[in-house]
């Protein structure tokens, strides 16, 4: 298949084949498990504020519909391509299956820089993208959510656009909406809170104490900032943070509330402090107990994996660690406890599932109920991954992925191949 190319899809493919070898999946069965069911590419024409028309490229990849509708985020990023979107859809499938959610994976997005669009342009891109996707999505077909570069507001525009075309309000078409527009309590914080919860579980196993522990977080958007905040609530000191505009480090600990206030006011970290500024290239390899990559893919590579000085690598981002880096980490004989992305950041899709269920039933839960159910689902997935690690002596990522792949494979086998 030549449609799915590029370094990020190559990563997803390599990870899958590693696990398929471990599970002894015959070669003839693999393409059907790996390659997406459907990829949609659309043009998104928009009137820009300068009076010109710009056409952005939009995508949606639906990996499989074997277990239910597809589910996955929408990414706005300048270099987005179908290979990256497909890789993210494949990872979503293994993540949903690992957590026992009745979904296949999907992902989508628009190749645009949301930081350079005005609010009006962002709304125009969002509404036109959703309008183009209407024939291919639906509450029982494919349900979108936020990802990098999108947020609650974008989800509200998606929901409104879809609803206008249906002639009725269809809140269950997207998740990650504001609570005021049919969203659930706890969704915005779910991914970061899940990261912190799983770091807590890893610390228990390693007999570490959160109070007095230290962390570095790359990416200060939804996942990064909430992970940092939730770790702080557990007594962890945040030594370093970065986003695409700035990077800060202080061995005594950063003032997280002040950073959050700065980002709330200015949108980015740039301009917060000149004293704490640090080189983003070295941030990931500085000493800390917990390292949370929560931005883009492929930041932990064969070149820097050997230099990591963390005890726990909590992958808030999707695909932050390359297969080459995994091999380096494997050679370090477990001195870095990896919480792989499909487990570590699963809190987002778990609470998205809760949102979808609540919207379908029009019966809403309070935040305490959402969080306690979230922790139960994450604990179950974590325990299953650790049991497989101990039973088969495989890497944490391979254990997590194999549980997901096996579930999808079993369902495909039972359903058979139509016609």
Residues between 184 and 213 that touch ligand NAD (CB under 6 A): 191
Rounded to whole angstroms, the Cα distance separating 353 from 232 reads 27
Per-residue DSSP letter, 332: T
The SS3 assignment for 246 reads coil
Distances (CA, A) of 67 to 74, 130, 245, 252, 354: 21, 24, 40, 48, 17
Residue closest to ligand NAD, measured at CB:
221
Nearer to ligand NAD, 290 or 394 (CB): 290
Contacts 24+ apart (CB under 8 A), 199-202: 199/231, 199/234, 199/236, 199/290, 199/292, 199/312, 199/314, 199/339, 200/234, 201/378, 201/379, 201/382, 202/312, 202/314, 202/337, 202/339
Nearer to ligand NAD, 188 or 388 (CB): 188
The least distance separating ligand NAD from the CB of residue 223, rounded to whole angstroms, comes to 4
Rounded to whole angstroms, the Cα distance separating 164 from 131 reads 10
Residues between 77 and 106 that touch ligand NAD (CB under 6 A): none
Taking CB under 6 A as the binding criterion, the range among 33-41, 122-130, 219-227, 388-396 that sits at the site for ligand NAD is 219-227
Marked catalytic residue, from 107, 116, 252, 412: 107
Based on the shown chain and the rule CB under 6 A, indicate whether residue 220 belongs to the binding site for ligand NAD: yes
Per-residue DSSP letter, 239: E
Do 263 and 228 form a contact (C-beta atoms < 8 A)? no
Nearer to ligand NAD, 247 or 394 (CB): 247
The least distance separating ligand NAD from the CB of residue 95, rounded to whole angstroms, comes to 8
Interface characters, 123-162, with ligand NAD (x: CB under 6 A): -----------------------xxxx-------------
- Beta bridge mates, 40: 60
Out of 69, 72, 183, 316, the residue judged to bind ligand NAD by CB under 6 A: 316
Based on the shown chain and the rule CB under 6 A, indicate whether residue 400 belongs to the binding site for ligand NAD: no
* Burial state string for 174-187 with b = 16 or more CB within 10 A and e = fewer than 16: bbbbeeebbbbbbb
Q: Is 413 a catalytic residue?
A: no
The least distance separating ligand NAD from the CB of residue 15, rounded to whole angstroms, comes to 15
- Beta bridge mates, 138: 142
Based on the shown chain and the rule CB under 6 A, indicate whether residue 223 belongs to the binding site for ligand NAD: yes
Taking CB under 6 A as the binding criterion, the range among 49-57, 199-207, 231-239, 291-299 that sits at the site for ligand NAD is 291-299
Q: How far is CA 388 from the centre of its chain?
A: 23
Based on the shown chain and the rule CB under 6 A, indicate whether residue 405 belongs to the binding site for ligand NAD: no
- Site for ligand NAD (CB under 6 A): how many residues? 23
Rounded to whole angstroms, the Cα distance separating 129 from 307 reads 42
The least distance separating ligand NAD from the CB of residue 179, rounded to whole angstroms, comes to 15
Nearer to ligand NAD, 20 or 346 (CB): 346
Give the interface with ligand NAD as residue ranges (CB under 6 A): 146-149, 191, 218-224, 242-244, 294-296, 316-318, 345, 348
């Amino acid at each position: 298949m030549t449609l799915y190319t590029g370094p990020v899809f190559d990563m997803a493919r390599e990870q899958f084949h590693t696990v398929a070898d471990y599970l002894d999946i015959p070669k003839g069965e693999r393409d059907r498990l790996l390659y997406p069911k459907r990829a949609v590419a659309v043009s998104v024409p928009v009137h820009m504020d300068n009076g010109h028309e710009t056409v952005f490229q939009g995508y949606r990849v639906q990996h499989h519909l074997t277990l239910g509708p597809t589910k996955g985020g929408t990414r706005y990023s300048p270099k987005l391509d179908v290979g990256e979107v497909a890789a993210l859809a494949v990872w979503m499938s293994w993540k949903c299956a690992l957590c026992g959610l009745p979904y296949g994976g999907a992902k989508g997005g628009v190749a645009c820089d949301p930081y350079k669009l005005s609010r009006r342009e962002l709304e125009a891109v969002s509404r036109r993208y959703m309008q183009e996707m209407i024939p291919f999505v639906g509450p029982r077909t494919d349900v979108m959510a936020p990802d990098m570069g999108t947020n609650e507001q974008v989800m509200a525009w998606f929901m409104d656009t879809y609803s206008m075309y249906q002639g009725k309000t269809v809140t269950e078409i997207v998740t990650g909406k504001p609570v005021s527009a049919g969203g659930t309590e706890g969704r915005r914080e779910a991914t970061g809170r899940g990261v912190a919860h799983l770091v807590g579980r890893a610390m228990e196993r390693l007999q570490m104490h959160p109070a007095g522990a230290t962390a570095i977080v790359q990416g200060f958007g939804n996942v990064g900032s909430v992970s940092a905040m939730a770790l702080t609530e557990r007594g962890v000191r945040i030594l370093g943070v970065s986003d695409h505009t700035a990077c800060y480090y202080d061995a005594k600990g950063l003032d997280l509330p002040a950073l959050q206030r700065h980002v709330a006011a200015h949108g980015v970290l740039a301009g917060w402090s000149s004293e704490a500024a640090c080189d983003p290239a070295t941030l990931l390899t500085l000493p800390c107990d917990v390292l949370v990559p929560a931005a883009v893919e492929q930041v932990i590579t064969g070149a820097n994996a050997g230099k990591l000085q963390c005890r726990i690598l909590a992958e808030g981002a999707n695909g932050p660690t390359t297969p080459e880096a995994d091999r380096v980490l494997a050679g370090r004989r477990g001195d870095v406890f990896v919480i792989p992305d499909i487990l570590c950041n699963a809190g987002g899709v778990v609470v998205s599932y809760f949102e979808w269920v609540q919207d379908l039933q029009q019966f809403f839960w309070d935040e305490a109920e959402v969080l306690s159910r979230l922790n139960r689902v994450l604990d179950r997935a974590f325990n299953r991954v650790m049991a497989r690690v101990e039973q088969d002596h495989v890497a944490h990522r391979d254990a997590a992925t194999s549980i997901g792949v096996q579930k999808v494979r079993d369902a495909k086998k039972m359903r058979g191949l139509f016609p």
